[in-house]
Structure 1
Amino acid sequence: MTGLSKQRRRSGLALAGPIAMALLLAGCQGDTPLPPPGTQRPPSSVARPVPGAVHFTAQGDIGLGSGAREVLDTVSGLRPELNLALGDFSYEAGREQEFCDMVTGKLGGDFPYEVVTGNHESDGHDGDIANIVNCLPNRLSGMQGEYGTQWYADYPERKPLVRFIMLSPGIKFRDGNTLDYASGSERWQWTAAALDDARSKQIPWTVVGMHTPCLSVGRYSCQAGQDLTNLLIDKKADLVLSGHDHIYQRSHQLGPGQECPLLVPDTFSAGCLASSGGTMAQGAGTVFVTVGTGGVGLYDVDDQDPEAGYFAAWSGKNRDAALGTLDVTATKDRLSAKFVPANGYTFTDSFSIGRK
């Protein structure tokens, strides 16, 4: 996998154009028990929406192995209305259709399995995002942007509870370049405008998804970029989801303030912690969750990482190893999330954000 590896020691002390442009481009659930092994959704069946709630799952780094199938079985048993797939799908060029067939075989041919590219398919070396988009097309009404790369959609379409915003920072595309999400860039402005527009329309929740994280106790450094990460915090995105690091990690609620004018990667500042409990209040800050546990091999976590103080929970190959998915339910008053492990694993984590 591409990306800059962190250099650290165990013993050491271990941190876009406006909405109009998008228009041109586009056009309370309680704890859920684990399904029995092999349980899956019948083909072409989509869960019926629960009135006043949105139920979705999210994970990345999936592959074609038995782990991927176990996680898809878990997703199927949870019966979400949609799934956010956070990149890195087949891991092999030429096998994208096989990946899509695996997904639709488990979840149904018309299930909204909503994708954003990972580094393995963005430049074509281990797959092609264009092929994934073709066989797992967008199924959310009113989507704006370039599906698979940078897009947003409100759900449900009428009286939406969530705006999903999917981005692609920090990974190379076929031209060998990364998309520019630096401060003031077109894509940075697009992201800011999408968040501002959701607030102006009084959509209760904003959920941002991308392949790369910035903060991590895993293998990688801030590939999502400091500028974009601080924008998401500054705009008070409620939940930011990523993959890439094959671990699970969930941050405390991070927010700006006099003691945290900017969050700086590879360091820790207690002033950036808006809330450190499992029950949080909307508007205080942003929760970052990496769910790179969709099926491929896990990475180690490092509790001596300098950014460890930003995190409330983590799981990796060397600690509470688990494949699985994040399971999220949003109502107008609360966003509740739980990590649900695949069959045979036991690690879990949960948190919630309430509206004032």
Structure 2
Amino acid sequence: MRNSAKRGTGTILTAALVSLALLLAGCEAGGPAPSPPGSSATPGPSEPTLSAPANAAASVHFTTQGDIGVKKTSQHVLDTIADLKPQFNLALGDFTYKAGIEQQFCDMVKGKLGENFPYEVLTGNHESDGSDGDIANIVKCLPNKLPGIQGEYGTQWYVDVPETNPLVRFVMVSPGIDFQNQQHLDFSKGSDRWNWTTNAIDGATAAKIPWTVVGMHAPCLSVGKYDCKVGQDFATMLLEKKVDLVLTGHDHIYQRTHQLALGTACPALVPNELSPNCITDSDSSMAKGAGTVFVTVGVGGESLYDVNNNDSEAGYFTTWSGGNRDPAFGTLDVTATADQLSARLVPAKGYTFTDAFTIARY
């Protein structure tokens, strides 16, 4: 620190020490960060707040799971989420499993995570047709709390997080599940909903948003009980667009694929058979742009299905867990920076199975 005035050595030394102490106090690691605009200065431990990082050094931290229910295990998963303190949660459908108790479900969520926590919802098949609940009621008592959302919240929407200088675009869609009168929403190739989805993904690329995450209730590939309900064309399109991460529920298991991509020897993703040429990376440290990772997190608390170790699609997967193999309820915990997306399965109380992977820019 320079001082043009001539002073005694003791005076200069004292001023320098005071300035250094003040500088260290302001930069102390672990010191309190300023609260985001509009947030409480002292949020409670069970009421995480949505931060708004505004530069490439910031991060986005979220949790995600589906197939939740209103059981003790459901509450244990919510406790796990609360302990992780994410900025928000993506709930991938199938909430109450019973009509008329939507408010009970919402009260359970708010009781564990806080009244103002962004618990963002996407319909599953149990509430999409009203038979075991109604997505309209869930949307009413768990409304969107993320700024800048586009589309129809609960059914087909996307949002950039943070809203300014975003790190992740989340595209949430509902192909392959029944709505009223057993009718699917039309996500077939070239349809309005197909075009809406591809435009949302392409828009993220054009805006140079570092990561694109697609969420939908039903998976395509699975070692569980379901087939490719979203359709081969839709799943192939996600590979063609080089979506970084696809999140699903529906099958009450946990499963993660290798990184998959299209190419000359893999022109399409064909369900019910294995094409090794579609696999671009088979370990847990992957490179951005080399393919897409599909993760099913249907372990939110309702129940667990068995997995088939000999399934024809098993070769696509790195790991899996179900009722008959390493059973665990839990949540996927994801953090994204400009340079890396890292995720881990965090088991709920009483369970031990876990998984972890990263996708990084090299």
Aligned to 2:163: 157
Question: Over aligned residues, Cα RMSD in angstroms?
Answer: 1.1
Cross-structure match for 2:99: 93
SS at match of 1:175: helix
How do 1:106-121 residues align onto structure 2 when only pairs under 5 Å count? 106-121=112-127
Cα separation, 2, equivalents of 1:284 and 1:338: 20
Letter in 2 for 1:104: K
Query: Would you say the 8 A contact 1:42–1:108 is kept in 2?
Result: no
- 1:289 paired residue number: 295
Mapped partners of 2:314, 2:59: distance in 1 = 33
1:128 equivalent in alignment to 2:134: yes
Deviations 1:63-121 (A, max 9, x none): 00001000000000000001000000011100000000000110011111010000000
Q: Partner amino acid for 2:88?
A: L
- Give the Cα–Cα distance (whole angstroms) in 1 for the partners of residues 326 and 305 of structure 2: 12
State the partner residue of 1:228: 234
For residue 176 of structure 1, report the CA deviation from its aligned partner. Answer: 2.2
Match of 1:46?
Answer: 49
Larger Rg: 2
Which structure is higher in RCO with an 8 Å CA cutoff and minimum separation 6? 1
* Residues in 2 aligned to 1:243 and 1:121: alpha-carbon distance in whole angstroms: 14
Q: Secondary structure at the match of 2:181?
A: coil
- Matching residue of 2:187: 181
Q: Is residue 248 of structure 1 aligned with residue 254 of structure 2? A: yes
Q: Give 1:45 shift.
A: 4.3
Q: TM-score, normalised by structure 2?
A: 0.86
Partner of 1:268: 274
Q: What stretches of structure 1 of length at least 5 have no aligned partner?
A: 1-40
On the 8 A contact 2:48/2:85 being kept in 1, the answer is no
Structure 2 Cα separation of the partners of residues 328 and 313 of structure 1 = 17
Q: CA offset at residue 174 of structure 1?
A: 1.2
Once the two structures are TM-superposed, the CA of residue 225 in structure 1 deviates from its matched residue by: 1.1
Assess if the C-alpha contact under 8 Å between 2:48 and 2:86 holds in 1.
no
* In structure 2, distance between residues paired with 1:326 and 1:176: 31
Q: Say whether the 8 Å CA contact 1:47–1:79 is kept in structure 2.
A: no
* Structure 1 residue 264: Cα displacement: 0.3
* Cα distance change on mapping 1:304 and 1:80 into 2, 3 Å: same
Letter in 2 for 1:46: T
| Aligned partner letter, 2:332 | L
Q: List structure 1 segments (4+ residues) > 3 angstroms apart after TM superposition.
A: 41-45, 47-51
Tell me the TM-score normalised to structure 1 length: 0.87
Identity rate of aligned residues, in percent?
63
- Contact 1:326–1:340 (8 Å) recurs in 2: yes
Offset at 1:343? 0.6
Which residue pairs with 1:345 in the alignment? 351
Partner residue in 2 for 1:211:
217
User: Which residue of the partner structure matches residue 285 of structure 2?
Assistant: 279
Correspondent of 1:104 among 91, 100, 110:
110
CA contact (8 A) 2:52 2:163 kept: no
